[in-house]
Amino acid sequence: MIQDGSTATGSGNADMIPPTTFGMRSLDDTDLEILQLLSNDARRPYSDIADHVGLTPPAVSDRVNRLEEQGVIRGFTVDVDQSLLERTLPVLIELQPKPEAVTDVYESVAALEEAEHVFEGLDGSLIVYATLPETDARSWLESGLDLTRLLGYDVTVLNRSSRSLGVSATGFSLECVVCGKAITGNGVTATVDGELKQFCCSSCESRYVERYETHQNALE
């Protein structure tokens, strides 16, 4: 998705920017509808979104900016179908690393340019989604991985795939960076050294800022 608007940036030095605090409220149905529309098409004009949700374009822009400030919208990406750009094959590869090699195998495969997604199961198995050039999967794996560290692997050439992006209220639970509790409508957000931080209450915010100042003073 391509982002429209600006976000806060860092100060570029170790000095602390005085925290700026503002209230945080829970997401309502209009927020969720806006998020769903942007998930389906991030290039959708605010005027079009406004027609769908019954607001004015400036009101939609304000809501999107607030969602960015709260960290609900962290950025926008472009979803490229690599198979349309060159002669490639989408594949799903299941790897069975030796128990002592799970981390190394994961990192090695994830570093391969063609690996788009890598997942690790609780049993230590790895699932890799990759778009490979016209080469066999074994040669591709050998280009960045020591196959002796595997117990085995299985390759499936994909015919088609689909993805559904659903947005619901339960999918957004901001957590306090100090205590880890879910942030409710009474939470606060502060800007510290150019970065937005979410807190469940002003007490946690004060504790975080105090620890930050102590750390900064120790560095000086």
Confirm whether 163 is domain-assigned.
no
CATH number (domain holding residue 205): 1.10.10.10
Interval 6-18: pLDDT, tens: 333 333 332 333 3
- Structural domain containing residue 97: 86-157
Confirm whether 2 is domain-assigned.
no
Distances (CA, A) of 100 to 39, 105, 110: 39, 10, 17
Pair (143, 118) in one structural domain:
yes
Three-state SS letters, 191-204: EECCEEEEECCHHH
Verdict on whether the full-model pTM lies above 0.75: no
Pair (108, 149) in one structural domain:
yes
With b for 16 or more beta-carbon neighbours within 10 A and e for fewer, the 9-42 pattern comes to: eeeeeeebeebeeeebeebeeebbbbbebbeeeb
Query: Of the residues 109, 134, 157, which one is the last residue of a structural domain?
Result: 157
Pair (104, 149) in one structural domain:
yes
Residue 5, SS3 per DSSP: coil
Confirm whether 90 is domain-assigned.
yes
Q: Give me the pLDDT at residue 23, please.
A: 43
Pair (153, 179) in one structural domain:
no
Confirm whether 16 is domain-assigned.
no
Task: Phi first, then psi: give them for residue 104, nearest 5 degrees.
Answer: -65, -40
Record the tokens describing residue 23, joined without a space.
């209230």
Q: Which of 127, 131, 111 is nearest to 119 (CA)?
A: 127
Interval 21-76: pLDDT, tens: 334 456 788 888 888 888 877 778 889 999 999 999 899 888 888 888 777 776 66
Pair (124, 176) in one structural domain:
no
Interval 132-183: pLDDT, tens: 876 688 888 999 999 999 999 999 988 877 766 555 555 555 677 777 777 7
Confirm whether 79 is domain-assigned.
no
Confirm whether 116 is domain-assigned.
yes
Confirm whether 182 is domain-assigned.
yes
Confirm whether 61 is domain-assigned.
yes
Distances (CA, A) of 82 to 65, 75, 90, 140, 159: 31, 21, 9, 17, 14
105, containing H or E segment: helix 102-110
Residue 6, SS3 per DSSP: coil
Pair (151, 95) in one structural domain:
yes
Categorize the per-residue pLDDT at 207 as very low, low, confident or very high, splitting at 50, 70 and 90.
confident
Pair (60, 94) in one structural domain:
no
